[in-house]
Structure 1
Amino acid sequence: MYRSHTCGELRATDIDSEVTLSGWVQKVRDKGFMVWVDLRDRYGLTQLIFDEERTPAEVFTRAKELGREYVVQVKGKVIEREAKNDLMATGAIEILVEDLQVLNSAKTPPFTIEENTDGGEDLRMKYRYLDIRRNRVKNNLIFRHKVSIAVRNYLSEHGFIEVETPYLIKSTPEGARDFVVPSRMNPGEFYALPQSPQTFKQLLMVGGMDKYFQIVKCFRDEDLRADRQPEFTQIDCEMAFVDQEDILSTFEGLTRFLLKEIKNVDVDSFPRMTYDEAMKKYGNDKPDIRFGMEFGELNAVAQNKDFKVFNEAELVVGIAVPGAASYTRKEIDALINWVKRPQIGAMGMVYVKCNEDGSFKSSVDKFYDQEDLAAWAEATGAKPGDLICVLSGETHKVRTQLSALRMELAEQLGLRKADEFAPLWVVDFPLLEFDEESGRYHAMHHPFTSPKKEDIPLLESDPGKVRANAYDLVLNGNEIGGGSIRIFDKDLQATMFRHLGFSKEEAEEQFGFLMNAFQYGAPPHGGIAFGFDRLVAILGGQETIRDFIAFPKNNAGRDVMIDAPARIDNEQLEELQLEIKQPQPEA
C-alpha cells in the first residue's frame, strides 16, 4: 500500500495515528539537526519532520539528499505541529517520519511548481505535465470535471440521451476550414474531422431519439486567439417536436442550474434582444450587459454643423463613461491613441466632459455650443461627472470600434466583475450574409438553419432581409451557446442550398444523405451547442480557455510539448499515396 491517507486529509483528530503517505517533494528546509519537507499530492500538502534524535539515522541521511519533485513514500506518526499554519488545511499537524523510500528521483524542474511560478507561458506549455502539478492548473481541471458532471446530470435527468457520433466524416465547403485525414484504404480520398456533429444529430432526430446530447470534441482549422483552439469541446444538444421557446426554456434551465450548482448564484432574468438591437445599442452581437454605456446615435444632433468629419460620416455614435469627466488630458490622449491602433482602426475620437455644474467642455467646442453638447448628453444618457466618447465613420466599422472601446473602458473601470453573471438571449439573426469577394450569400450560422416562417417569401425577393430562427446565449459578453430551429422540409432545404450557390448536383453530393433521410419522415427539430471550454472559463472567473484545457495548443496551433504537428516519414507518405512538395531553395 503506497498510502493510507492523502496529503490533504490529516487533521488534529488524527494525532498519534500511524500513517503512510506518498507524493512529490515540494520544498526541503534543512536546519542541520532537523529537516522539514512539504509533501504534495493533488489533495494538498503535509509537512514531514525528520529529527536527528527521533528519526532512524539512515532515514535522516536520506532526507538530507531529497530534491524538489522527488517522488517519495513515508511512514510515520501524526504529531501536533508546534508552529501551526492556519493557511494550510493540514497546518495543525506534521508527520514524524520513521521510514522514507525514494520511489523516483527527479531533475530540477525548469520552473518552480508553486502558485507564483517563475515560468513563462511558453515554458509551462512545453512542460505542461509539470504545470498541472500547480494548484491553479490542477484546480481548473478539477473545476472542469465538476462542470461536466453537472451538465450530464442535468440533461440526463431531463430525458436527454448521450450518443457518440463519428470523428471521421465527410468534408463540406461551408463554415471554417476542415482538418482532413487521408484514407490509406481509399487512396486519394480523405475524411474530415467534424467541426460539429450537426448532420448526425439531425439524423438522430429522424431516428426518433428526440432528446440527444453529447460532450464532444470538435475541430476547426482556423486562426487562433486566446479563446480559440483548433480542437475544442461542445455541449451538443438536439430536440425533436420543439419550437424556439422550448429550446430557450430548456437551456435557460441548464444555465440556471450550472450557475447555482457551481457558483451558488441565482439568476432569474434571461432578457432577450434582437440582433439588430444588439448591434445598435452595443455594436456587437454578444454584448456584456453587466454595465451600461449603451450607444447613443448622434447623427440628428451632431451633423449639419461646420464639423466636416461628422458631416461626411455614415454614423456618429457615442457612449457616456461614468465618472470619467475627471480624466486628465493625458488619460484622454491615451484613449485616443488606443482607438487609433491598427487593431481598432479609428481615425480619432471626439470627447465631451460633462462638468458637475452642468456645463460641458469638449474637443470640438469650436463647432458646437453648450446646447448642442447638452443634446449629445441626452442622447448618450450622460450625467454630470461623465465623459462622452464619440466616434464616426461607416456604420459597421464604427460600431465595432466603439464596442471595443466600451469593453476596454469597462475593464479599466472594474465594471466586468468575475463574480457577476448576466445572461442574455440574442435572437433574430440574419439568415444569410452577402460575401463581396465570392459574390454570393453565405449562411450566417449553417445551411440547415430555418428562416422565420413570416420571412420565407423574402427568400426569392430580398434574401438579405430574411431572419433566421436562430438564437445565441450570451454570458458576460461572451457567446457561450448558439443554435437554431432546423429546416426539416426537403423542398425548403433545397431552396436554401440554391440561395447558397449549390447546384442540385453539388447539394446531392454534399448533403444527399440528409435530404434522403428527410424523405422518411423528419420531425420538426432544433438544438443548441454550448462552447464548453469557454463556459467553464467564464464560470471559473476567466475568459482564456487555455487555462482550463489539460494539454492546449499555442497561438500557432502547435503542441509545443509533443512538437506537433510534425512531418511523417516517406514510408507513411507512400502508404497514403501522398507527395509532399518540399520548398524550393532560392535562386
Structure 2
Amino acid sequence: RRPQALENVKFRSKFITYTRNWFTNHDFLDVQTPLFTVSSPEGARDFLIPSRLHPGKFYALPQAPQQYKQLLMVGGIDKYFQIAPCFRDEDPRADRHACEFYQIDCEMSFVEQQDIFKVVEDYIFDAVRDLSPSKTILENRIFSMSYLEAMENYGSDKPDLRYDMKLVDVLDIFARSTNEIFSEIAKDPKNNRIKAIKVENGDNIFSKTQMKNFENYVKQFGAKGLGYFQMKEDGLKGPLNKFFTESDLQEIIDRVGLKVGDVVFFGAGEKDTVLSYMGKFRIHLASIIEGLIPENLLAFSWITDFPFFEESDITGKIDFGHNPFSMPKGGISAFDNPNKFEIMSVQYDLACNGYEILSGSIRNHDVESLVKAFEMVGRTEEEVKVKFGAMYEAFQYGVPPHGGFAIGMDRFMMILKDEDNIREVYAFPKSGKAQDLMMNAPALIDVEQLDELHIQVKEEDEN
C-alpha cells in the first residue's frame, strides 16, 4: 500500500500498453512464443521442468525466445515483437531480478545495424517524451562507441556518461620514470596499462584519510596500489614526484587537463585488471562526490563491435563472448584470423546511466558460417544439428538477412522511475534470495507428485 509501490505498478501497466501500441503502430506483429522449450546457450542456468509423459526428459523455460524469433524470420514474418517473459537461474542483484524478467523482444528481416538503431532510437525518444517527460536525454542524442573504446576510456562496457572523468592513457610518460615498477609495466604496452583519472577540485573534496582508503578500495578488485598527485599552485605534489622530471610532470598536467585544486589518480598493471578496477573506481568516485551526477538526466550510448570469442573463466578455453548466433564482422572469412580473440561480431548493446538496457545483433544467416562458429568453440556439426535442429534444418531452405534486439523492460523502467533496485518495479518481486515470500516459494513437493515425475530428491551431504 506504499504510494510509491502503487505508482510503480500503475506506471508498469502504462509502460506495457504504450510499448505494445508503439510497436504495433510501426507494423511489428506481436507473436507469443512457447514457454515450455529446450535448453538454450544464453549463458545462465536453465529452469528445468520434468515431463510426466516423457519420463527422464525435461523442458526448459526460455532464457530468451532467440531461436523462435529467428525461425519467424525464416517463416516470412519480417517484423516481430513481444513483451517476452524470460527465465534464468542466476543470482539476483540490484539491477537483475531473480528467476524471471521481461524484455521487449524484437526481430526484423532485411535490415542492417543502422536500421535496427533507427527503430530503437525512435522508440526510446518517444517513450521518454511520453512516459517520463521530466527526464532529459543528454545532448538530445544517443552516443556511440566501440567496446574497446568503452573499456579504454571508462573501464566498463556500459559506461555512465552523465559525468566525465575519462580514463587517460599515460603509459608512455610513466615509461620514462625512474620507478622500476612503472618502467617495467610500460615495457609491454600491448598487455599492460597505466591509466589516470582526474577529479576536479578533488584536493578540496577528499580528506587525507579518504585518499588513503581509496587504495584499499581498488585493492579488493585486484589492484596492487593506487598512486596520486595533487595539483597545487606550484605544480604537482605527491609521493610519486621524485620519479619524474619537471617536463614529464608538465606533460601529465597537460594531457590530463589538470588545474589547481584537482587530484589525479593512477592505476598500473595488467590491462584487463587495470581497466576493471579503474572503471569501478570511477563509479565509486562519482557516487561519493555530491552533486556530480545531474538529476533527471538520461545518457544513452551504443556499444558496438564486441569480441566474438573470449576465454572462459571456468574452463580457460575459447567460448562465445556474446550471442553465438551473431554475424562475425567481415563474414565467414573473419574466422580465418589466427588470433581468435581479434574476431569481432556485429553485436551491439545500449547503455544508459551505467546500466545495459539492450542487447542485440545482426544474425549469422549463413549455415556454413554458423556451424564454423560452433566448431571454433569445440562443437561439431552433429552437435549443432542435435542442439539446434530446428534452426539448422530451416536454414537449409534459405534465410533472409535479419537482426534484432531485446530491451530489458524492467531495468529500463527502474531507470525511468529513479529506483535503485529492480524489485521496486514488480508487483510481486522475488527476494534477494530468490524467494517469493508471499507464496512461500520455492516449496517442498509431495512425494506422490515426485513419484509421478520419476524424481527422487537427493539428500544434502551434511559433511
Task: Give the TM-score of the pair, scaled to structure 2.
Answer: 0.93
The question of whether the paired residues in 1 share the 8 Å contact of 2:78 and 2:107 is answered with: yes
SS of 1:461's equivalent in the other structure is coil
The aligned amino acid for 1:390 is: F
Q: What is the CA–CA distance in structure 1 between the aligned matches of 2:91 and 2:423, rounded to whole Å?
A: 15
Choose which of 193, 203, 208 in structure 2 pairs with 1:329.
Answer: 208
Q: What is the CA–CA distance in structure 1 between the aligned matches of 2:403 and 2:245, rounded to whole Å?
A: 54
The aligned amino acid for 1:315 is: R
Give the structure 2 partner of residue 199 of structure 1: 67
1:474–1:461 distance in 2 versus 1, CA, 3 Å: same
| Matching of residues 395-434 of structure 1 within 5 Å | 395-413=271-289, 414-434=291-311
Q: What is the CA–CA distance in structure 2 between the aligned matches of 1:253 and 1:225, rounded to whole Å?
A: 30
Q: What is the CA–CA distance in structure 2 between the aligned matches of 1:455 and 1:349, rounded to whole Å?
A: 44
Give the structure 2 partner of residue 16 of structure 1: none
Give the structure 2 partner of residue 97 of structure 1: none
SS of 1:451's equivalent in the other structure is coil
Give the structure 2 partner of residue 243 of structure 1: 112
Give the structure 2 partner of residue 148 of structure 1: 16
State yes or no: 1:275 paired with 2:152: no
Q: CA deviation at 1:434?
A: 2.4
The question of whether the paired residues in 2 share the 8 Å contact of 1:297 and 1:317 is answered with: yes
The aligned amino acid for 2:100 is: E
The aligned amino acid for 2:128 is: L
Q: What is the CA–CA distance in structure 2 between the aligned matches of 1:571 and 1:260, rounded to whole Å?
A: 54
Q: Which structure exhibits the higher relative contact order, with contacts defined as CA atoms closer than 8 Å and separated by 6 or more residues?
A: 2
Q: What is the CA–CA distance in structure 2 between the aligned matches of 1:208 and 1:266, rounded to whole Å?
A: 39
State yes or no: 1:136 paired with 2:4: yes
- Structure 2 portions without partners, runs of 5+: 186-191
The aligned amino acid for 1:257 is: D
Deviation by residue 1:423-460 (Cα, 9 ceiling, x = unmatched):
11111111111226435322212211111126733445
Deviation by residue 1:322-380 (Cα, 9 ceiling, x = unmatched):
1112232122123223223x3x332221111112x251111222323443332223232
State yes or no: 1:259 paired with 2:135: no
The question of whether the paired residues in 1 share the 8 Å contact of 2:328 and 2:334 is answered with: no
Q: What is the CA–CA distance in structure 2 between the aligned matches of 1:461 and 1:212, rounded to whole Å?
A: 37
Q: What is the CA–CA distance in structure 1 between the aligned matches of 2:420 and 2:382, rounded to whole Å?
A: 43
- Structure 1 portions without partners, runs of 5+: 1-132
Q: CA deviation at 1:185?
A: 0.8
* Cα RMSD, aligned residues only: 1.8
Q: What is the CA–CA distance in structure 1 between the aligned matches of 2:332 and 2:236, rounded to whole Å?
A: 47
Give the structure 1 partner of residue 189 of structure 2: none
Give the structure 2 partner of residue 7 of structure 1: none
State yes or no: 1:301 paired with 2:173: yes
Q: What is the CA–CA distance in structure 1 between the aligned matches of 2:42 and 2:10, rounded to whole Å?
A: 36
Moved over 4 A (4+): none
Task: Give the TM-score of the pair, scaled to structure 1.
Answer: 0.74
SS of 2:297's equivalent in the other structure is coil
Q: What is the CA–CA distance in structure 2 between the aligned matches of 1:135 and 1:158, rounded to whole Å?
A: 34
Q: What is the CA–CA distance in structure 2 between the aligned matches of 1:482 and 1:474, rounded to whole Å?
A: 9
Q: What is the CA–CA distance in structure 2 between the aligned matches of 1:581 and 1:454, rounded to whole Å?
A: 48
Give the structure 2 partner of residue 227 of structure 1: 95
Give the count of matched residue pairs.
Answer: 451
1:461–1:510 distance in 2 versus 1, CA, 3 Å: same
1:174–1:411 distance in 2 versus 1, CA, 3 Å: closer
| Matching of residues 488-499 of structure 1 within 5 Å | 488-499=365-376
* Larger Rg, first or second structure (1 or 2): 1
Q: What is the CA–CA distance in structure 2 between the aligned matches of 1:415 and 1:146, rounded to whole Å?
A: 32
Choose which of 83, 88, 93 in structure 2 pairs with 1:215.
Answer: 83
Work out the percentage of aligned pairs sharing the same amino acid: 39
The question of whether the paired residues in 2 share the 8 Å contact of 1:377 and 1:388 is answered with: no
Give the structure 1 partner of residue 218 of structure 2: 339
Instruction: Give the number of the structure whose residues are more often helix, by fraction.
Output: 2
The question of whether the paired residues in 2 share the 8 Å contact of 1:418 and 1:541 is answered with: no
The aligned amino acid for 1:389 is: F
Give the structure 1 partner of residue 437 of structure 2: 560
1:271–1:358 distance in 2 versus 1, CA, 3 Å: farther
The aligned amino acid for 2:92 is: L
State yes or no: 1:486 paired with 2:363: yes
Q: What is the CA–CA distance in structure 1 between the aligned matches of 2:332 and 2:293, rounded to whole Å?
A: 37
The aligned amino acid for 2:85 is: K
Deviation by residue 1:504-552 (Cα, 9 ceiling, x = unmatched):
2211110011011112231111000001111001111234211111112
Q: What is the CA–CA distance in structure 2 between the aligned matches of 1:419 and 1:390, rounded to whole Å?
A: 31
